[in-house]
Amino acid sequence: MSNIYLVGFMGTGKTTVGKLLSQRLKKQFIEMDEFIEQREKMSIPEIFSQRGEGYFRKVEKDTLKDIANKKDCVVSCGGGVVIDNENMEILKRTGLVICLCADSKTIYERTAKDKNRPLLNVDNPQKRIEELLKIREPFYRKSHIFIDTTNISPEEVVDKIVKVLNG
């Protein structure tokens, strides 16, 4: 079977849901940002501050190409991976793309205490979330399936995904 890619904005539950889904389906779980951190031997915030977002996006693309060669995995993708059309083509060609979404208030509440979010280290993170969501929405819309995680538990999200997979 092909891979299952979880995409969506930060704080929508990709990693939490991905771990639970991989256990349920007995598949390997890959957290793309962790994969990048191991490859680069530095944290995502360090990559952003020392090398810039452009460098990070190049590493992200190379990492995605490597992961896409694997089979039968559940992959939690970085929140911005979809903003590159080639990345989206790779995702759709090698697996099922499931977009997890949530409203901006929920995302803010889920990410407010996490300092490992370089794109939100700004004066008004709530406003930045809204701006980024607006920019990324057309890209997220290219996904195969959408699940709103705003008012449901990670386990309920997994149940919805499994139901879709069993079709």
- Would you say residue 118 has pLDDT above 60? no
In-domain check, residue 49: yes
pTM: 0.92
- How far is the C-alpha of 105 from the C-alpha of 11, rounded, in Å? 11
In-domain check, residue 166: no
Residues 4-28: tens digit of each pLDDT: 999 999 899 999 999 999 999 999 9
In-domain check, residue 61: yes
Residues 37-57: tens digit of each pLDDT: 999 999 988 998 999 989 999
In-domain check, residue 167: no
In-domain check, residue 71: yes
Residue 50 is predicted with a pLDDT of 95
CATH code of the domain covering residue 114: 3.40.50.300
**Containing structural domain, residue 145:** 3-154
- Count of the separate structural domains present in the chain: 1
Q: Which residue has the higher pLDDT, 157 or 118?
A: 157
At 126, the pLDDT band (50, 70, 90 cuts) reads confident
In-domain check, residue 161: no
| Overall average pLDDT of the 88-93 stretch | 95
Gyration radius of the chain over CA positions:
15
Residue 114 is predicted with a pLDDT of 67
Residue 116 is predicted with a pLDDT of 64
In-domain check, residue 74: yes
In-domain check, residue 57: yes
Q: What is the mean pLDDT of the chain?
A: 92
- Would you say residue 115 has pLDDT above 80? no
Per cent of the chain over pLDDT 90 is: 78
